[in-house]
Amino acid sequence: MKYFAKKYDVVVIGAGHAGIEAGLAAARLGVSTGVFTINMDWVGNMPCNPSIGGTSKGHLVREIDALGGEMGKAADANTLQSRMLNLGKGPAVHSLRAQIDRRRYSEYMKHTMETQDGLEIVQAEIVSLTRLENGEWEFTTRLEAIYHASCVILATGTFLGGKIYVGDVSYDGGPDGMFASTELAESLKTLGVKTRRFKTGTPSRVNRRSIDFSNLERQDGDENIVPFSFDGDYQPENKLPCYITYTNENTKEIILKNLHRSPLYGGKIDGVGPRYCPSIEDKIVRFSEKKRHQLFIEPCGLNTEEMYLQGMSSSLPEDVQLAFLRTIPGLEHVQVMRTAYAIEYDCVDPISLYATLEFKDFPGLFGAGQFNGSSGYEEAAAQGLVAGINAALKIKGEGPLILDRASSYIGTLIDDLVTKGCSDPYRMMTSRSEYRLILRQDNADIRLTEIGYKVGLVGEEKLQRLHRKLERIEAEKKRIEKVSVAPSEELNSILVSRETSPLETGCRLIDLIKRPQLDYESLADFDKDRPDLPKDVFEQVEIEIKYEGYIRRQLAQAQEMRRLEEKKLDENTDYTTITGLRMEAQEKLNKVKPKSIGQASRISGVSPADISVLMIYLKKHGGKNG
């Protein structure tokens, strides 16, 4: 028999990486919050790669931390190995990546939620969701408990209408042997939420004891580890190595001979898969000229023998998977503990959302994570944080948090989703940002801590630490402008060895640091009054000096972008009535309903000529915004 259980301000459906950040943010902002999950033991689960960060994703994690989110702290507390990627390139693309103890990470997040004031976490499957006449949301659990909420955040991951594929076998299911959320999927369709099918996959997990490591390339972590979190609550340590091996022609032959048994190529899977993380069979077909593909063998935890095979996701039959794995050096006698699979699931077209991640047609309903068409733990957590903040701000009657493209990778991620949409699972990349030199992972605290403080997620102590850091940066920049370095045989020897011209007369220290071949460390012996400052202060000073002109140029571009964002458009505009707009532009503008000229300019299919027409229209009809 159905019964009324409780009313919350905010309810989050799902306790993956999006649901965790959404629930914690809402509760920390002082609104009553309930987080519902199908299985309490899988809070913060990592059904795919047990890692956090990576190229561009490390940027997201550090931004989440700067805003007051939890992912960075959890990653630091449960790191198995840490590496800074892309150090051979410029600072804009340096990205932190950590291998994570997946079960301990889950336990950390579960306990963090359990002990958070204002938050209740409940194990229950939600089977229906409806909107009441008073604007509140009502939902029912499998056990017929009825709950009400003013705002609901859908963070269903790959569970919504989930279907597992392994060769000829397919069945309703969620990741890691969980069951799918099928009735909620139907309830959303009845409500009028339009969904579509995406697909993702995951590799096998194998037993460490069955691997021959003698012929594998060992990959250790960095000697000097940089944490994700700016708070420094945990200092990560390298505890386990990773390994590298490669496929070969025998691997390729087995896969190609059995391609007809793949549900991906047999037409059984309708969902669109991730473009930038293809299955091994997809890589073999798409890159047929390649003789081998790299494979990373990574630990899943300290207290398990499971190893993750990064780069080998597959939906081929179990016997085929075992056969091609055993052609790979080091895996000749491998024991598979968990078979690789593909999973198909329901998600929405994110164009149906505002930049707050609230649905345009369903007030109080928000989406976050893979439900919005993205992929990746970090992308999910970033959206969950923003959705949780905006749901809480809506309850409190305060203005929303909207991060623009020049403020953060989080702003770029959300703007891409709600403005451009996605035809396949969206993955964050540094190349997606036109402002990546000013959106570095090293300055995420400088960019976003003040915003987190104003919202209410960052405390006074963290803000004051930032202010002290900024003061030190400015003082150091002024100091090195005044420090003069005299030419000497020792200094010139270093300059010549680094392929830069020797000094003939005295030179300011700042001018030496500007040279691309030099850095603070190489000049330390010639800077006798160098102060004892944290490494991140020297890092900021050096980057700002070396890239001063480029940074100034990107800041000017960001200012122009924001000028266009201030030119507001009426959401009720019927673009078919505006003379001069091309038909494609009319259709796209009516679908997205952009809030500004800036957003309109980023819609695929809207040309610069269309923007000129809109600017003229706005001058005639837009009043002070024109």
For residue 219, give the CATH number of its domain: 2.40.30.260
Asked if residue 573 and residue 478 are part of one domain, the reply reads no
CA 187, distance to chain mean position in Å, is 28
Asked if residue 615 and residue 508 are part of one domain, the reply reads no
Measured between alpha carbons, how far is 489 from 491 in angstroms, rounded to an integer? 6
Let me know if residue 507 belongs to a domain: yes
Residue 268: name the closest of 189, 186, 344, 177 by CA.
Answer: 344
Measured between alpha carbons, how far is 381 from 52 in angstroms, rounded to an integer? 11
Let me know if residue 230 belongs to a domain: yes
Measured between alpha carbons, how far is 558 from 539 in angstroms, rounded to an integer? 23
Asked if residue 591 and residue 514 are part of one domain, the reply reads no
User: Token pair of 144, please?
Assistant: 């017929």
Query: What pLDDT is recorded for position 625?
Result: 43
Using an 8 Å Cβ cutoff, are 64 and 382 in contact?
yes
Asked if residue 305 and residue 213 are part of one domain, the reply reads yes
Query: What pLDDT is recorded for position 624?
Result: 45
Let me know if residue 517 belongs to a domain: yes
User: Token pair of 269, please?
Assistant: 């899977």
Asked if residue 336 and residue 241 are part of one domain, the reply reads yes
| Sign of the dihedral through C-alpha 71, 77, 83, 89 | positive
Asked if residue 608 and residue 485 are part of one domain, the reply reads no
Let me know if residue 336 belongs to a domain: yes
Let me know if residue 488 belongs to a domain: yes
Helices 535-546 and 548-565 cross at an angle (nearest 10°) of 80
- Structural domain count of the chain: 3
Taking the C-alpha atoms of 516, 518, 520 and 524 in order, what is their torsion angle to the nearest 10 degrees? -170
Angle, CA of 243, 245 and 248, to the nearest 5°: 170
CATH number at 591 reads 1.10.150.570
Domain of 478 in residue numbering reads as 460-552
Query: What pLDDT is recorded for position 277?
Result: 74
Measured between alpha carbons, how far is 206 from 340 in angstroms, rounded to an integer? 10
Asked if residue 579 and residue 470 are part of one domain, the reply reads no
Let me know if residue 541 belongs to a domain: yes
Asked if residue 621 and residue 497 are part of one domain, the reply reads no
CA 57, distance to chain mean position in Å, is 5
Residue 393: name the closest of 421, 366, 372 by CA.
Answer: 366
Say which residues have a Cβ less than 8 Å from residue 357's Cβ, sequence separation at least 6. 366, 367, 368, 372, 383, 386, 387, 390, 414, 418
Measured between alpha carbons, how far is 370 from 377 in angstroms, rounded to an integer? 9
Burial of residue 441 (number of CB atoms within 10 Å: 0-12, 13-18, 19+): buried
Let me know if residue 570 belongs to a domain: yes
Asked if residue 590 and residue 545 are part of one domain, the reply reads no
Indicate the residue among 324, 343, 362 that finishes a domain.
343
Let me know if residue 401 belongs to a domain: no
Indicate the residue among 322, 343, 364 that finishes a domain.
343
Asked if residue 310 and residue 257 are part of one domain, the reply reads yes
Asked if residue 215 and residue 284 are part of one domain, the reply reads yes
Indicate the residue among 552, 580, 603 that finishes a domain.
552
Asked if residue 573 and residue 548 are part of one domain, the reply reads no
10-residue mean pLDDT profile of the chain (626 residues): values are: 96 98 98 97 95 97 98 98 95 96 98 98 97 96 98 97 94 93 96 95 96 96 96 92 97 94 77 76 90 96 97 95 97 97 96 97 97 97 98 98 96 96 93 95 98 98 97 96 92 93 92 92 90 94 94 93 91 91 92 92 90 89 54
Alpha carbon of 6 to those of 187, 288, 518, 551: distances in Å? Answer: 20, 57, 63, 52
Measured between alpha carbons, how far is 169 from 83 in angstroms, rounded to an integer? 38
Query: What pLDDT is recorded for position 276?
Result: 66
